[in-house]
Structures are given as C-alpha cells and as structure tokens.
Amino acid sequence: MPEQKPSAYAAMRALRDELRARLDENEDYRAWKALDEALRELEPRSMPKAVGLALSAIATTETELPRADDAALNFAEFPRRDRA
C-alpha cells in the first residue's frame, strides 16, 4: 500500500471527526439526531436491502411455467430406493 493512502485516510478521519464535533455543537442537529435514534429504535427492523431487491426483481419478472401433461402419473415406473 502506498504511503499516501494511510495519510489520506487519516486526513479524512480527522475531517470527519471535526465535522461531527461541529455538528454536535448545533442544537438543531442534536435534536434531529435524538429523534432519528428514537425512531430507529421504535421502527421494526426491515429486510436487508439485497433481499428486498431480489424479491422485487422476482415479483416483476413474468415467467410462464411450462404446462404439464394431463396424463396420469404412474409411480410404478420409477425404481424404488430403499433407505438403509
């Protein structure tokens, strides 16, 4: 890893910490933050985003299953597997 990356990460962390400290001094931000935390605790947990995306993709995909023959099934044709 080049030397620049750790120093860039450290600079970004320092900037983040300074911004957070400035925001924490703002009364409106503190009130919003407290309200947000309270709502997060009260709201039911939601499904992970990936699961939600997968379910919506499945719901929007129109696939038609092949039609089965109307012939009766004859299970005697299949070999029986004895369980050991």
| pLDDT tens, position by position, 31-66 | 988 898 898 888 777 667 777 777 777 777 666 655
**Is residue 22 domain-resident?**
yes
| pLDDT at 11 (0 to 100) | 92
DSSP structure class, residue 25: T
In total, how many domains does the chain have?
Answer: 1
Reduced to 3 states, what is the DSSP secondary structure of residue 80?
A: coil
State the average pLDDT over residues 64-79: 61
Q: What is the largest CA-CA distance in the chain?
A: 79
**Is residue 64 domain-resident?**
no
Range of the domain at 21: 4-59
**Is residue 42 domain-resident?**
yes
**Is residue 74 domain-resident?**
no
**Is residue 69 domain-resident?**
no
Residue 6 binned pLDDT confidence (cut-offs 50, 70, 90): confident
* pTM more than 0.75: no
**Is residue 51 domain-resident?**
yes
